[in-house]
Amino acid sequence: MSTRAPLVVVGDALLDQDIDGDAHRLAPDAPAPVVDVTDDRSRPGGAGLAAALAARDGREVTLVTALGQDPASQAVREALAGRVRLVELPLHGSLPVKTRVRAAGRPLVRVDRGGGHCGEPGDAVRSVLASGQPLLVADYGRGTADAVRAELARAAARAPLLWDPHPRGGAPVPGTRLATPNAAEARALCPRDDTSVRADAARGAWLAHRWQAAAVAVTLGERGALLVEAGSDRPMLVPAPYRAQGDPCGAGDCFAAATAGALADGALPEEAVQRGVAEAAAFVAAGGAGAGDLWGASPTTRTDARRSVDAFELAASVRAAGGTVVATGGCFDLLHAGHVGLLESARRIGDCLIVCVNSDESIARLKGPGRPLTPVADRVRVLSGLGSVDAVAVFGETTPEPLLRKLRPDLWVKGGDYSVDALPEAAALREWGGQALVLPYLDGRSTTSLADRAARSAARAAAGEPRR
């Protein structure tokens, strides 16, 4: 059983469809691309997606939404069965269906159809909203939040409530713990010519006052989110942990679901926003709302907030595509300018860069007592955060040769004053036709010299000598 707090999601469910294919020609009767369809998938969108994402870690999630008797409503019910508990309002009409037609993964056109209006809430809906459980309002401006606005206003006084607003929807109810407009929505609500971060912070503060919300987080896409608490003149920028490349569809729902879950578990707003930003980045990197794993996996499967890349899978895929696999290695105990320059240069000569890192035990054998200064988990995290590094692999032996025989890179790169023939890994590279290379290294930069300099500085400070 999950130890996470239950969460109630309120909002407008949709049905999202992706029609994927290839476009290599124009139609004979119009200058329009012809898409040869290779895949056609449907999934819950809107509040339905937010609820499914909130339930990925085993959290108990109840979705309050309007559904009808049309095929799209039934498709959403079937997709969410076993993932979330549904408590329905009547939908008079049909559920909105949003269809993206994509070629080579890039949208060509979106077609929207369907729609209806939400009926009055019944006793089951009122009971859920009066339960005192934390809430996420995923408002898509189609009437669900408006239909239960009075109940949400009362609920905000009893439990944390996160409101993800929509330009066509109503304002968050007073007492909202955190409202999460994106930058475009905030700029539409509070127009001004300036689009700087400073201006976005001012918009967030103005919206917090206008909405009587405890805080506003203005989401900035791949840049992260800007958190502004009511009455504070110190906004906090929460950057994304890395630049995610992928389909951003549904990233806002992922951010809202992760942030609301964190608030439900007792996190402070800044902690909750950090979790939301990290999970949204991982969500985009993993393929967004259309990723097959999202809907094919068990509802209790959680996407890690920091997607890790398997070095062996990466090397195999790059080789299969005819690319060049580059590897380098070392302790990387204190990352410095020499390391960064080497890694950037190494990445430019191939199609991927894999860094082979000594384990803590391996460094202790090589460097002696007192090393490493930084544990391997931290070293891997720092290296993985560099834009030049595609994957990191750890080895426990004294040399990386056993690891290299598994990776089989095309190029092995080292920096410094080695000669190629003197590189101990050069013979191993020749076994599969690889090549060892030496790249220039910045003089005077090494972990040992940095550590020695720090030790001397500390000794002088302890002796009361002036800093040099």
Nearest to 173 by CA among 213, 144, 203, 232: 213
Q: Is the separation of the CB atoms in 407 and 311 below 8 Å?
A: yes
Q: Do the beta carbons of residue 194 and residue 174 sit within 8 Å? A: no
- C-beta of residue 440 within 8 angstroms of C-beta of residue 465: no
Using CA of residue 327, residue 332, residue 338, residue 340, what is the dihedral sign? Answer: positive
Which helix (H) or strand (E) covers residue 39, if one does? strand 33-46
In 3-state terms, what secondary structure has residue 443?
coil
Q: Which of 18, 253, 333, 410 is catalytic?
A: 253
Query: Of 454, 452, 441, which Cα lies nearest the Cα of 330?
Result: 441
Cβ-contact 218, 182 below 8 angstroms? yes
Query: How many Cβ atoms are within 10 Å of 81's Cβ, its own excluded?
Result: 11
Query: Given CA atoms 260, 266, 269, 275 in this order, what sign does their dihedral have?
Result: negative
State the sign of the Cα–Cα–Cα–Cα dihedral 84, 89, 95, 97. Answer: negative
d(CA 253, CA 290): 13
Angle between helices 251-264 and 269-285 (to 10 degrees): 140
Active site residue 443: no
* Cβ 39 vs Cβ 21: under 8 Å: yes
Beta strands in 172-247 (DSSP E): 178-179, 215-219, 225-229, 236-238
- Secondary-structure breakdown of the chain: helix, strand, coil percentages, each rounded to the nearest 5: 35, 25, 35
As given in the structure block, the two tokens for residue 268 are 């402070």
> Tokens for 350?
């191939």
Give CA–CA dist 136/437, Å, rounded.
54
Q: Are 54 and 27 in contact (CB under 8 A)?
A: no
CB 148 within 8 A of CB 125: yes
Phi and psi (nearest 5°) for 97? Answer: -120, 125
Catalytic residue list: 253
